[in-house]
Amino acid sequence: MPSPGAPDRPFDFEDRARGQRVIFGTGRAGVLLPDVLATLGARAVMVIGTRRELERSASVLDGIRPALVWDEVEQHVPVELAGRATRAAQGAGVDALVAIGGGSAIGLAKAIALRPRPRSLPIVAVPTTYSGSEATSTWGLVERGVKTTGVDPRVLPAVIVYDAELTRSLPRGLSVSSGLNALAHAVDAFWAPNASPSTDLAAVAAIRMLAAALPLVACDPDSLTGREDALRGANLAASVFSAAGSGLHHRISHVLGGTFGLPHSETHAVVLAHVVAFNAPAAPGAEVQIAAALGAPTAVGGLIALRDRLHAPTALRELGLRESDIPAAVEQILAVVPASNPRLVTRGDLTALLRAAWAGQAPDSPA
């Protein structure tokens, strides 16, 4: 039995570095963006964002003359949408992509960059949420109700421009759920396929940072301090997720979102504590580290306390999942459970986990 806080894996691992330029500049995105594009040699830029986001961020885009503006954006990027956007980019001779917004806009940019072409298509990400997609080389596409994800270096944004001012217009509820999505990146990394002592250390730092920042964002939406710290934490958490890979929590959330249309960040907010409660008995070292980062006696108790303090969603039924959907979800999730998960996952386990999350029952905290 490992001692409390001890690693749950042998001291045998490999770390992989990634190349990405990351710029933090509160109130400076509009100034930074033209210089970033010039450095990339971009001449025909495609700007991607929802119509609402493009209107809110008009001042940021004043300094560039895009060859194409694309405002059709959906969560869990449908293959058909990716195809239309790609053809439009090819028709306009686009040589760089600027994605402004959350994970949906950045996800569409990744889908376009993923398509074969003579030269790479660099992405400049300007996040306005804490989703973290900008810091990963993970892509996702939905076809016929099934979400497929993968990892490809072509989709890792070349540059990220973080401007906390741009997150001020984010509604409180979305700020909270997006921040808990970021937290899930760090927590799930403890039992992801490529987890290592290095990712564990970074995950602890990200959890601690987000746990301190998110209450500030929720209580004082105009506070830039909380938003700046939340962006830093989200970037670190997403970097950990990119290095460690996708764990059980993310496999569950991707099925619920891709097949059943549940909103991405809210689903993460509901499911996370249930997965931690399931895995913690088999990963005592991870449990102790997560709990300590949250400043709580147990990891599950800390996550529930934070979720309740933020008034985050607690039940999948409130997000649109029907109880009759649970058996089909269980079958899809069983097929993608990562071998790295510290506990064997059975059909009965998943059914119990999803039923509790569907009903909004608080998961038990392991002794």
pLDDT digits over 200-246, tens only? Answer: 999 999 999 999 999 999 998 888 999 999 999 999 999 999 999 99
Handedness of CA 230, 235, 237, 241 (dihedral sign): positive
Over its C-alpha atoms, the chain yields an Rg (Å, rounded) of 20
Alpha carbon distance 98, 117 (integer Å) = 18
pLDDT band (50, 70, 90) for residue 11 = low
Position with higher pLDDT, 148 vs 253: 253
Three-class secondary structure of residue 229 per DSSP: helix
pLDDT tens figures, 62-114: 999 999 999 999 988 999 999 999 999 999 999 999 999 999 999 999 999 99
Average pLDDT, the chain: 92
Using CA atoms in the order 165, 171, 172, 176, what is the torsion angle rounded to 10 degrees? Answer: -80
**To which residue do tokens 């072509």 refer?**
154
Confidence of residue 367 (pLDDT cuts 50, 70, 90): very low
Tell how strand 159-162 and strand 21-24 pair up: parallel
Residue scoring higher pLDDT (263 or 12)? 263
Q: Where are the alpha helices (DSSP H) in 98-247?
A: 103-114, 172-188, 197-219, 224-244
Question: pLDDT tens-digit profile of 333-348?
Answer: 999 999 999 999 999 9
- Quick one: pLDDT band at residue 324, thresholds 50, 70, 90? very high
Domains of the chain: 28-162 (3.40.50.1970), 172-359 (1.20.1090.10)
> Cα separation of 215 and 191, whole Å?
26
DSSP state at residue 157: -
Mean pLDDT value across residues 264-292: 96
Tens digits of per-residue pLDDT, 22-44? 999 999 999 999 999 999 999 99
- Contact call for residues 319 and 266 (beta carbons, < 8 A): yes
Would you state the pLDDT for residue 9? 61
